[in-house]
Amino acid sequence: MKTLSLTATRLVLSLAAAGIVGGASVGLVTGTHASAAANANAPVATQQAPMLAGAALPDFSQIAQRHGAAVVNISVIGKAGADEQQQASNQLPGIDPNDPFFEFFKRFQGPGAQGGREAPSRGQGSGFIISADGLVLTNAHVVRNAQRVTVKLTDRREFVAKVLGSDPKTDVAVLRIDAKDLPVVPLGNTKDLKVGEWVLAIGAPFGFENSVTAGVVSAKGRSLPDDSFVPFIQTDVAVNPGNSGGPLFNARGEVVGINSQIYSHTGGYQGLSFAIPMETALKVKDQIVATGKASHARLGVSVQEVNQTLAESFKLDKAAGALVSSVEPGGPADKAGLKVGDVIREVNGQPIVGSGDLPAFIGQSLPGDKVQLDVWRQGKAVNLNAQLGDASAKAEAVAANKNATDQGRLGLALRPLAPQEQRAVGVDGGLLVQDAQGPAALAGVQQGDVLLAVNGEKVQSVEQVRALLGRAKQSLALLIQRDGDQIFVPVQLG
């Protein structure tokens, strides 16, 4: 029942003297990986020494020489809001705010990071040319809130770019510049990409144009805890501000991804970088070129991981799948017959191993698409068919169906536990915490906790909690179960 809470944060740092344009400067440097074919052809000296030093390394210099000219530097000018300006004023690339020199260097950050709401701000990123007539791919966050976008080529030519469209859900944006006979990168896919292969990134970290970095593929199909529709490529390539939107090459010199983000506790690179697979980016590109926007499907469920305890409770042969924790009333899943407590194991024959695989798969489909769901329900396999809805309606649906307990004084979104969930956690009744904000979050209540009692009174429904909240004055005592332990959490009401 416990939802993993990751403390890593997305790195969004200013690269320009005047501030940040909506995160336009989130820079990523991703690495390089070697082709498996290189390993296959590498000579073997002896059985005791099957690999010679450097034998598996591709020729990075050839890739950089052939395709570096198609990688561009992107400069953005826009207007940042007060929150973004405050963030820019409190962050300097590579410098801890507690460092004695932080305030000294902050003086040189420029007025854009300290002024009023309408102060101009600047950011930088990377991109790459995919068509000789000027089509450029980059990250959506690079050009967010941009008023002027300039694309600079390696031959020093500069062009004012038009943003054809951007898709925040996948972090892909498409630009066009007025030029012909441009160098282009060859495009590949991640189908044959293997964990452990070398990959190569070219971009402009901290504005240093056409910098080359290398690393290996750490994982494929990585789902991140931000409602992303992207099955990310994880690498160990050093990433820094300014590489966002740049290409990730395989050892054959094909672009297999767009460098997008990192996880970091410190604001600097810590070995975790993520790239958008080229297949995902091209689907979004095609929609943007045709219509100016991208559409994504939704199923209308909230899901959570299946751990070993839940798998045993549901009589599953392994801890895999997406456990349905809530179903949007009247949504596609509801109409298809999905129920709370169902475990979605496959979609159109594709296995769902972790809960994050489901939104990544569904999000790459189109509204109106029909999918077949392999569901495990009460010890039996059930096949259901669903017609997907439009993800753009998700925010409205969530707002309309949120429980009243998260509106104001307490800050909790709750739902009753399914019978299987009650057995799994060993409780009779109780409510699952789907979201914790405001006073409850400040007190330490977390998503995935089970609320057992309020002020000593056992609770089994949202209405009961609402009634107890209505009688409360300044505080409440919540009895919470977490990881098999029960604790009282005092909450000062808002």
pLDDT tens for each residue of the chain, 494 residues long: 222 333 333 333 322 323 333 333 333 333 333 333 333 343 433 334 344 444 457 788 999 999 999 999 999 998 654 334 444 555 555 555 555 555 555 544 544 444 444 556 788 999 999 999 999 999 999 999 899 999 999 999 999 999 999 999 999 999 999 999 999 999 999 988 999 999 999 999 888 999 999 999 999 988 776 656 898 999 998 878 889 999 999 999 999 999 998 877 766 667 789 999 999 999 999 999 999 999 999 899 888 888 887 888 788 999 999 988 878 888 899 999 999 889 999 999 999 988 888 988 898 898 999 999 999 998 899 999 999 998 876 544 444 444 434 445 788 888 888 887 888 888 888 898 988 888 888 888 998 899 998 887 889 888 888 888 888 877 788 889 988 788 888 888 86
Query: How would you classify the pairing of strands 431-436 and 450-454?
Result: antiparallel
Q: How far apart are CA 79 and CA 77, in angstroms?
A: 7
Q: CB under 8 Å to 465, separation ≥6 — which residues? A: 405, 410, 412, 414, 431, 451, 454, 459
What backbone phi and psi angles, to 5 degrees, belong to 357? -65, -30
From 437, 465, 299, select the one nearest 368 (Cα to Cα).
299
- Termini Cα distance of the chain: 27
DSSP 405: G
Q: Which residue in this structure is represented by tokens 């953005």?
A: 76
Q: How far apart are CA 35 and CA 377, in angstroms?
A: 43
From 387, 383, 384, 357, select the one nearest 369 (Cα to Cα).
387
From 398, 412, 425, select the one nearest 465 (Cα to Cα).
412
Q: Which residue in this structure is represented by tokens 């460092």?
A: 99
CA 303 to centroid of chain Cα atoms: 16
pTM higher than the cut 0.75: no
Q: How far apart are CA 411 and CA 408, in angstroms?
A: 6
From 278, 277, 258, 232, select the one nearest 74 (Cα to Cα).
258
* Catalytically annotated residues: 141, 171, 244
pLDDT at residue 439, as a whole number: 87
Helix or strand holding residue 351 (H, E): strand 350-351
